[in-house]
Each structure stands twice: as C-alpha cells, then as structure tokens.
Amino acid sequence: MERRARIWDRPTRVFHWCLVALFAVCYFSGEERRFDIHIPAAQALLILVIARVAWGFAGSESARFRSFLKPPGAIAAYIRTWKDRRPVRTGGHNPLGGLSVLLMLAALLVQAGTGLFAADIDGLNEGPLSFAVGYEAARDASAVHLFTVNVLLALVALHVAAVVAHLVYKRENLIGPMVSGRAPLGPGLKPPRLVPEWRAIVILAASAAAVIGTIELSRLLL
C-alpha cells in the first residue's frame, strides 16, 4: 500500500489556482478589450508571479526550484519511464513538470512585465508605465505582450495535455494533490520539509509593495 504524505503546502496550492484564475481573467478581458478589468487583473497577476518566484527560493522544499529543476539527463531519464504505465512518485514536480513550471513563470513575467509599458496605436489603452518610455518602445512592448499570449496558450495546452496523459495513461491524478496537498510518496522518499505559512504572506506583501510602489513612484517622479 502506498504511503500518502503532505506534498504541497497551502501557499503553493493557493498560488497555483489563483494564477489559473487571474490568467483566465486577463486573457478574456483582453480579448473583450475590457481594460478596466484587464489592467488591475494583470497587476495582480504580476504580483502573484513575483511572489511565486520568491517562494521558489524561500518556500517549502517541494516548491523550491532546486528541488524540481533537473538537468537534461534527468529529464531524458524521466521521459524513458513512459514506456511503463506505472506512475513515478517523485514527492513533488516530476522533471518535465518542473521545466513546465519554469517556462510558464518566465512567460508570465514577460507577459505581465511588458504589459506595464504597452500602448495601443491610438494611445487610448495604455499600460500604467507606458508614459515612462517612448512611443516606439511602448509599441514594441505591446508586440511582445501580444506574442507572449500565444506562447502562454501553447504552454497551458501542453500542461493540460500532460495532466490528462498522467491521468489516463499513467493512472496518476495530479489535480487532486494540488487541491488537498496530499499525494502518494515513492519508496525511500521522505515527505518534503514545509515552511510556516506566514512566510508566504510576507513574500506576497513585499511583492505587492514592489509592484504598486514602482508604479506609483514612477507616476510621481517621471
């Protein structure tokens, strides 16, 4: 009988699902050109992504980059395990999942960061820091912003496909543990060390202060 252990702490799970919700709000509000919703939602998304990056260094063991970012050899070895339908219990992100997390966080940082400086051709809809750069730079930021949407949609599609493949082929439910925090633990593995939740609150507050403070100071000084 497999041992079940607490793999994901509450901050990691909250970060995950809030990122999903905020990305959906940002995408659909942008498609509908509801910038009154899009801009504040994007700022909230940027705050959350910065907090998740910081959590990757100061958070629980299973959420830290050093625990799930693996070299190419380890990724290749994991891919070879797909010849067998039995799930591989890693006590956190598997090597491919860890790479997916890194790519999505990087793309989200680019997406939300360029959105701060983006501007429409007619100048009617502008990011909160578009005034700090020239028109051409704002249009370049807008082009990168729009391009990164397609990159993110591709990454999300791959992520969903991987979750379904794990469920159907590997008979491994990856969604349940990201809700409950508990998952089967592989032989010889110890449960990851979890840090106090107050640390996440401090990181989130610092991230919000950094984003909002930068925007407001720029409006005062520039």
DSSP letter string over 31-98? Answer: HTT-HHHHHHHHHHHHHHHHHHHHHHHHS-GGGSHHHH---HHHHHHHHHGGGS-S----SS--HHHH
Q: How sure is the predictor about 2, in pLDDT bands with cuts at 50, 70 and 90?
A: low
Q: How sure is the predictor about 124, in pLDDT bands with cuts at 50, 70 and 90?
A: low
* pLDDT higher than 90, residue 103: yes
User: At CB < 8 A and 24+ separation, what contacts does 139-146 make?
Assistant: 141/114, 141/115, 141/116, 141/117, 142/114, 142/118, 144/110, 144/114, 145/111, 145/114, 145/115, 145/118
Cβ-contact 199, 59 below 8 angstroms: yes
Considering only CA atoms, which of 206, 202, 191 is closest in space to residue 60? 191
Average pLDDT score over residue span 159-180: 94
* pLDDT higher than 60, residue 167: yes
Q: How sure is the predictor about 3, in pLDDT bands with cuts at 50, 70 and 90?
A: confident
pLDDT score recorded for residue 188: 79
Spell out a b/e string for 51-80, using b for 16 or more CB atoms within 10 Å of the CB, else e.
bbbbbbeebbbbbbbebbbbeeeeeeebee
* pLDDT higher than 60, residue 1: no
The tens digit of pLDDT for each residue in 33-76 reads: 999 999 999 999 999 999 999 999 999 999 999 999 999 999 99
Residue owning tokens 């909230």: 44
Q: Which of 3-7, 16-20, 40-44 has the lowest mean pLDDT?
A: 3-7
Q: Which of 68-77, 103-112, 118-127, 200-209 has the lowest mean pLDDT?
A: 118-127
pLDDT score recorded for residue 131: 87
Considering only CA atoms, which of 183, 110, 178 is closest in space to residue 141? 110
Q: Which of 44-48, 55-59, 99-103, 169-173 has the lowest mean pLDDT?
A: 169-173
Phi, psi of 4, deg, nearest 5: -110, 140
* pLDDT higher than 60, residue 199: yes
